[in-house]
Chains A and B, each alone.
Chain A
Amino acid sequence: MLSLFISAIVVHLFCIFSFSALLKILYYKNFIYMVIEYDILPEAYSRVWGSILPFIELLAALLLLQQSTLKYGATVLLFLLFSFVYAVIMVLSSKRKLTCGCYGKLLDTEVDTFTLGKIIFLSILSLMVLMIKSTVTIEHSFYSVGVGIYMTVFLLITHKVWAIHQESMRLLRKNN
Chain B
Amino acid sequence: MESFIFYSVILLWTTQFFVLFLLVLLFRQFGEVYLKSGESISRDGIPIGEKLPDFEGQSYKTNSHLEKKQLIHRTTLLAFVSPECKPCQELLEDWNEAIVMYQEQIEFVLIFLGNKDRAQRLLMKQAIQGEIVLDHNREITSLLQVRITPFCFIIDETGVVRAKGLCGGREHIDRLLFETNDTFKKGVIKL
Contacts and interface: CB of A to CB of B under 8 A. Distances in A.
Contacts of A150: 11, 14
Interface in A125-176: 141, 143-144, 146-147, 150-151, 154, 157-158, 161-162, 165, 168-169, 172-173, 175-176
B178 interface: no
B7 A4 contact: yes
B32 A173 contact: yes
A45 interface: no
Interface residues of A, number: 23
Contacts, number: 49
A92 B181 CA distance: 50
B32 A143 contact: no
Contacts of A168: 29
- How many chain B residues sit at the interface, stated as a range, is 10 to 19
Interface string A104-128: 0000000000000000000000000
A81 B36 CA distance: 37
Contacts of B10: 5, 8, 147, 151
Contact of A4 (B6, B11, B15): B6
Interface in B12-37: 14-15, 18, 21-22, 25, 28-29, 32-33, 36-37
A114 B4 CA distance: 31
Given A161-B25, A169-B28, A169-B32, A143 B4 contact: yes
B18 A147 contact: no
A119 B37 CA distance: 34
B28 A8 contact: no
Nearest to A173: B32
Contact of A165 (B4, B25, B33, B38): B25
A143 B3 contact: yes
A165 B28 contact: yes
B3 to A, nearest CB: 5
A162 B7 contact: no
A44 interface: no
Interface in B27-56: 28-29, 32-33, 36-38
Contacts of A141: 3
Contacts of B25: 161-162, 165
Contacts of A1: 6
B68 to A, nearest CB: 32
Contacts of A175: 37
Given A144-B7, A147-B7, A172 B29 contact: yes
Contact of A151 (B4, B6, B14, B37): B14
Nearest to B13: A151
A87 B3 CA distance: 39
Contacts of A173: 32, 36
Nearest to B21: A158
B32 A172 contact: yes
A8 B32 contact: no
B86 to A, nearest CB: 15
Interface in B118-137: none
A143 B21 CA distance: 25
* Those 7 A-B pairs whose CB atoms lie nearest each other, nearest first: A143-B7, A165-B25, A172-B32, A147-B7, A176-B37, A147-B10, A154-B18
Given A4-B3, A147-B11, A158-B21, 4 more contacts: A8-B10, A161-B22, A168-B29, A173-B36
